[in-house]
Amino acid sequence: MASCSRHAVTSALRGTTKALTSRRQQSLEQQFQSLRLGARRLSTEPSSSAITAAPELDVDDLEKFRLAKHARPVPVSPSYFSRTPRFNDRYLAIERLSRSCSHLPVIPAADVVHVGWKSLPDLRRAFGEPVKATDYAKCLKLIKRLQLIHPNAQPKELGQALEEFKRDIQALRNVANPIPIDKFGRALGVGKRKSSSARAFVLEGQGEVLINGKTLAEYFGRVHDRESAVWALHATERLDKYNVWARVDGGGTTGQAEALTLAIAKGLIAHEPTLKSALRKAGCITRDRRTVERKKAGFQKARKGQTWVKR
Amino acid sequence: MPVPNSLRCLVRPSTGLPVSIPRTAASLGVPSAGLLGTPLLAAASFSTTSSRSEGASGIAKNHHRGGKKTFTVKKKAFVLERGKSPLPGERKAYRKRIILSNDNALAVPWLTDLGPAELSNENNVARVMGIPEEVQDQLRASEAFKTTQCWRMFRKPAVLVRKETVDLTRRMDRAAQNNEMLRLVVTGDKVAGKSLMLLQAMTHAFLNDWVVIHIPEAQELTTACTEYAPIPNTDPLQYMQPVYALKLIQAIKKANEKVLSKTFTRNAHPHLPQNIPANTPLLTLANVAKESEAAWPVFQSLWAELTAQGVARPPILLSIDGLAHMMKISDYRTPAFDLIHSHDLALVRLFANAFGGGLKLPAGGAVIGATSRSNAPRCPSLELAVSRREVEQRIEASSKAAGSGSGAETTATATEEVPQRDPYFRGYDDRVEAVLRSVEVLRVGAIDKNEARAVMEYWAASGMFRSVVDTKTVTEKWTLGGNGVLGEMERASLLSMRM
C-alpha cells in the first residue's frame, strides 16, 4: 500500500499522471453499476445493452512508463528548506527579472512615480518570516533599479512581482479633495487648534470679517488674537481682497483665533492654490497637534505630583 | 517728649541688657552713668567667686556649657529701596491729568484749525482738523477731554470730522436758527467715539458762541459722592448738590467767559451774597459763587438769567456723558432712608426736563447725552427707549423717502417692528421712558475707509504710525479695528507695543 502510494507520488512528480490505480477505477465502476441498477428497478423494462466493465489494469504493464527505479520527491520551490521561503521565492523572482530586464531602457530617477515600499518590520509581519535586513536591502536595491525601467517597456510580470513589496497605503498618492467654491463664491475652510474648531467662509470682498456674528474687535479682546485670526490673509497681503464669515466653537480665545488662522488659510487656498507655499511659510497650513496632556492616576495633573509630606 | 527716647538710643543694647536705665531718671532726662562714658558693667565689682562672675552665672542658669564660639558673618537683611513714595493724592493726580500735547510728536504741517462753520461743512468729512487753542482751554475747563483718549500722543489736539459730526452740528445749527431745542442721545459701540462726538458738539458750540454747560460724568451726581441737601418748598421734594454746583459754576464761568461777559442780567438778584443789579454781566453773577453755601442760589439765578425770555441770549448746549447714570435711582437717601430717584436731584432734573422737552430756551440750543459702554449701570428703560427711537427714526426716514418716491429698499424698513416692553420684566422705569419718549438718537458707528485713511495719514504725519499708509495698511487696521471702530483701530495701531 505504502509502496503503491509512493509510486503514485513519484509518477505524479514526473508528470505520469495517467498511471492510476486499478482499484480506484473499480470502485468508480461499481458505483456506476449500482446507479444503473437502481435506474433499472424504477423502469420495469429490461435494458437492451448490458454495461461491460473495462479489462483489469495490469500494474506490471505500467512499468514501461516508469523513468527511474528509485526517486525522492523534490520540492517545487528551491527555497523550500530555507527559513524564509516566501521572501526567498520573491527575491529570486526579482533577481531573475532584473537579469532579464537589464537591457530595457530606463528613465531618470526624478521622473519615477514615487512608491512607498514596505519597511522591514512591515515586510516581516506581512510574510510572517524573519527576513534579514541585509537581504531586504539587497532586494530593495534591485526593486528600485527595476522601477527605473521605462513604463512602456516594463514586462507584465514585473508589476506583479513588485506588488507584494509595496505598502498597503500609498500616502503619497493620497491627494486631499480640493475645496469647492460654491455658487455664491464662498470657499469653506475648516481649522482646528487645541479644542477649538473653526469654519470660515472666505469670499472675495473688502476685508470685512464677521466671527459668530460679531466683528473681529468685538469677538477678540486681545489685539494679538485678532491679528492671528486674520494672519493668513495678512501674510499673503490679501486682507483687502476677501471677506470672511466664520463660526468658531470650543476652547479659549487663543485656540479659537489660531483655529481661524487655519480655516481662513484653507478657504484662501481654494481661491488661490498658488498661495499654499507662502501660507506654509507663514505657518498657516500645519495643524498644531499639541493638546492638553491627559491626567495620570496618582498625579494631580498630567505630571504634577502630590506634595511630599513627611509621614 | 522725645528726650528719653533719644537718650535710650545711645545705650548700647549689648551692655544695656543687665543694667537698664532707671525709668525715673530716663523720664526726667537725667543722663545715666552709661551715658557719661563709663561702661555700665564696670559698676559690677570684680570678684573671683563663680556665683558673681558674669559668665558663670549665665552658664549655671541655662544648663549648657559655653563652647568655643565660632565666628560667623551674618548676612544683612536685604532692604528693597523703593525711593520716595508719592504724597497723598499725587497718584490720583498723575492718573487723572490731561496731557494735550507731545513735544516729541511731529507737527503736522497741513493741519488747519477749526473755524465756526468747519464742523458743519460737508466738504470737511474725512479730514482731520486741529482744535484752536482758546477752544482747547474752554474744553479743558469744562472737562471735555478724558484720560482714556489719546491726546498725549500728538503735538496738538485734532479731531476727525466724520459724517456723524456734520450731521450733529447741522442739527445744532438748525435748532439755534429756529430757536428750538435739539434733544439728542448719542449712542454706539464701545470706543466708537461717543464722547468724542460730544466733544465735537461742544467745540462747535464754543466756536459759535454758545453757552456750554457740560457734566463730564453723570455718575458724579448720582452715586452719592457729593454733598446734597433738600431744597425747601419744593413738591415733590428736590435736592440740591451745592459742592458740585459750585464746581459746575466755576467750570461754566471759565469755559464761557467771553459769552457771559457779553450777556447781561435782566433782573436784579438781591438775595445773593453779593447784590447783583440788573444789567450786570452774567460773568459777575457767576463770580458771586465763592463758597458752596451760596452755590445753589447763584446757579439758580444764573440759570434763570440764561433762560430769561425777551432779551438777547446765546444758545445753550447742555451736554452730559454717561447718560445711564442719570437714568436710574440714585444712591442718595431721603431722611426716611428711601432711595431718591435721580430725577429728583435738581441738577439732574434740569437735564431730564430738557431731554423730556419741557425746557424752552430763548435762543434755542441743544441737550446732548452720550451713553457709555464701559462704565454704565444696566438701564433697561434707556436701552428700550434708544432702540425704539432708532426704529421709529428709520421708519420715519423710509416713509419720507417713499413720499419722495425712491427705491424698494425702504419698504423693508417700513415693516420693521418697534420694540416693546418685555411684559415679564419689572425693571423698567416710567419716568425715564417719559423723558426719552421723543429724543433723537444718533448712532456713532464705524468709520469708512476714507475716514480711516484720513486719520491714519494724520497718525503717520505725526510720526506715531510708522508704515506707509496705503490701501493695504488702511484695510488691515480697519479690519483689526472691528470693521472700522475708531478706538479699536487706535488700539491696534497706536497702542500696541509694535510701533
Does residue B113 lie in a domain region? Answer: no
Is A102's Cβ below 8 Å from some Cβ in B?
no
- Nearest-Cα distance to chain A for B463, in Å, is 21
* Predicted local distance difference test score (pLDDT) of residue A2: 42
Mean of the pLDDT values across residues B384-394? 95
When pLDDT is averaged across residues B18-36 and rounded to a whole number, the result is 44
Residue B482 contacts A where some CB pair is shorter than 8 Å: yes
Residues B434 and B488 occupy one common structural domain: no
- The pLDDT value recorded for residue A49 is 67
Taking the C-alpha atoms of residue B213 and residue B321, their distance in angstroms, rounded to an integer, is 12
Whether the per-residue pLDDT at B157 is higher than 90: the answer is yes
- How much is the mean pLDDT over chain A? 86
- B-chain residues within 8 Å CB-CB of A223? 480, 491-492, 496
B445 in A contact zone (CB under 8 Å): no
- pLDDT of residue A278 exceeding 70: yes
Has residue B100 been placed in a domain? no
Kindly state the average pLDDT of the residues A289-304: 94
The pLDDT of residue B403 = 81
- Does A207 lie at the interface with B, CB-CB under 8 angstroms? yes
Q: Which residue has the cell 507520488?
A: A9
Q: Where are the alpha helices (DSSP H) in A101-222?
A: 120-127, 133-147, 156-163, 216-219
- In terms of domains, do B188 and B266 share one? yes
Reported as a single tens digit per residue, the pLDDT across A157-212 is 998 999 999 999 888 888 888 999 999 999 999 999 999 999 999 999 999 999 99
Percent of chain B surpassing pLDDT 90: 77
Give me the pLDDT at residue B413, please.
57
Q: Is A234 on the interface with B (CB under 8 A)?
A: yes
The grid cell for B42 is 564696670
Q: Between chain A and chain B, how many beta carbons pairs sit less than 8 Å apart?
A: 45
**pLDDT value, residue B8:** 63
Task: Look at residue B418 and tell me whether its pLDDT is greater than 60.
Answer: yes
Nearest to B475 among A215, A218, A239 (CB): A239
Q: Taking 90 as the threshold, does the pLDDT of residue A16 lie above it?
A: no
pLDDT, mean of residues A13-35: 57
Instruction: Indicate the range of B31-35, B294-298, B373-377, B385-389 predicted with least confidence.
Output: B31-35
Distance from CA of A241 to the nearest CA of B (A): 9
* Cβ-Cβ contacts under 8 Å for A280 (sequence gap 6 or more): A286
Residue B114 scores a pLDDT above 90: yes
**Does a structural domain hold residue B21?**
yes
Segment B99-107 mean pLDDT: 94
Q: Please tell me whether residues B277 and B306 are part of one structural domain.
A: yes
In chain B, % helix, strand, coil (3-state, to 5) comes to 45, 10, 45
Provide the shortest C-alpha distance from residue A237 to chain B (in Å). 7
Sole residue written with cell 514526473: A14
Q: Tell me, yes or no, whether B102 lies in a domain.
A: no
**B471 and B331: one domain?**
no
Confidence category of residue B40, pLDDT binned at 50, 70, 90: very low
The 10 Å CB-count burial string (b at 16+, else e) for A207-224 is bbbbbeeebbbbbbeebe
> Cα–Cα distances in Å, from B296 out to A40, A136, A228, B244, B442?
140, 103, 56, 9, 33
Q: For residue B374, list chain A residues with Cβ-Cβ distance below 8 A.
A: none
Contact yes or no for B485 and A230 at CB 8 A = no
Percent of chain B with pLDDT over 70: 84
Computed from CA positions of residues A63, A65, A66, A72, in that sequence, does the dihedral angle turn out positive or negative?
Answer: negative
Cβ of B476 under 8 Å from any chain A Cβ?
yes
Question: Residue B496: its chain A contacts at CB < 8 A?
Answer: 223
CA distances from A48 to A16, A40, A45, A121 (A): 38, 11, 9, 72
Given a cut of 70, whether residue A255 has pLDDT beyond it is yes
* Model confidence at B279: pLDDT above 60: yes
Per-domain residue ranges of chain A: 2-65, 85-173, 187-281
Least confident span in B16-30, B374-388, B453-467: B16-30
Average of per-residue pLDDT values in chain B: 87
The answer to whether residue B467 sits within a structural domain is: yes
Is B475 within the bounds of a domain? Answer: yes
Query: Given this model, what pLDDT does residue A175 score?
Result: 83
Give me the residue label for grid cell 486681545.
A222
Kindly state the greatest CA–CA separation across chain B.
126
Residues of B in contact with A217 (CB under 8 A): 480-483, 485, 488
Q: What is the mean pLDDT of residues B234-257?
A: 95
Q: Is A221 on the interface with B (CB under 8 A)?
A: no
Q: For residue A205, give the chain B residue with the closest CA.
A: B475
Structural domain contains residue B80: no
Element of type H or E holding A196: strand A196-204
Under an 8 A CB cutoff, do A218 and B472 touch?
no
Q: What is the pLDDT of residue A265?
A: 97
Using pLDDT thresholds of 50, 70 and 90, give the confidence band for residue B421: very high
> Cα distance from B430 to chain A (closest Cα, Å)?
32
Q: How confident is the model at residue B80 (pLDDT cuts 50, 70, 90)?
A: confident
Of A218, A237, A239, the CB nearest to B479: A239
Chain B contact set for A238 (CB, 8 A) = none
Nearest CA to B150 among B174, B166, B128, B127?
Answer: B128
A218/B482 Cβ within 8 A:
yes
Listed by number, the residues of chain B in 179-208 with a beta carbon closer than 8 Å to a beta carbon of chain A are: 189
Strand, coil or helix: what is B312? coil
Both B466 and B340 in one domain: the answer is no
List chain A residues with CB under 8 Å of B471.
240
What's residue A74's pLDDT?
A: 84
Q: What is the rounded CA–CA span in Å between residue B307 and residue A34?
A: 137
With respect to residue B146, please indicate whether it lies within any of the assigned structural domains. Answer: no
Under 8 Å between Cβ of B391 and B416: yes
Count of structural domains, chain B: 3
**How confident is the model over A62-99, as pLDDT tens digits?**
877 777 778 788 888 888 888 889 999 999 999 999 99
| Whether residue B355 is found in the same domain as residue B479 | no
The beta-carbon neighbor of B496 closest among A216, A223, A239 is: A223
CA pair distance A255, A192, nearest whole angstrom: 8
Report yes or no: A249 and A176 within 8 Å, Cβ to Cβ: no
Report CB contact under 8 Å: B483, A234: no
Question: Which residue did the predictor score with more confidence, B385 or B7?
Answer: B385
Q: What is residue A81's predicted lDDT score, i.e. its pLDDT?
A: 87
pLDDT at A310 over 90: no
Most confident stretch, B18-27, B316-325, B406-415: B316-325
Tell me the mean pLDDT in the region B68-87. 82
∠ CA(B267), CA(B269), CA(B272), 5° rounding?
165
Closest residue in chain B to residue A237, using alpha carbons only: B472
Overall fold of domain A187-281: Ribosomal Protein S5; domain 2 (3.30.230)
Please tell me the predicted confidence (pLDDT) of residue B50: 55
pLDDT of residue B22: 47
- Test A217 with B472 for CB contact under 8 angstroms: no
Rounded mean pLDDT, A219-236: 95
Residue A234's nearest CA partner among B89, B319, B28, B472 is: B472
B448 touches chain A (CB under 8 A): no
What range defines the domain where residue B298 resides? 183-379+429-444
What local confidence, expressed as pLDDT, does residue A1 receive? 41
pLDDT score recorded for residue B16: 44
Q: Which chain A residue has its CA at the smallest distance from B486's CA?
A: A217
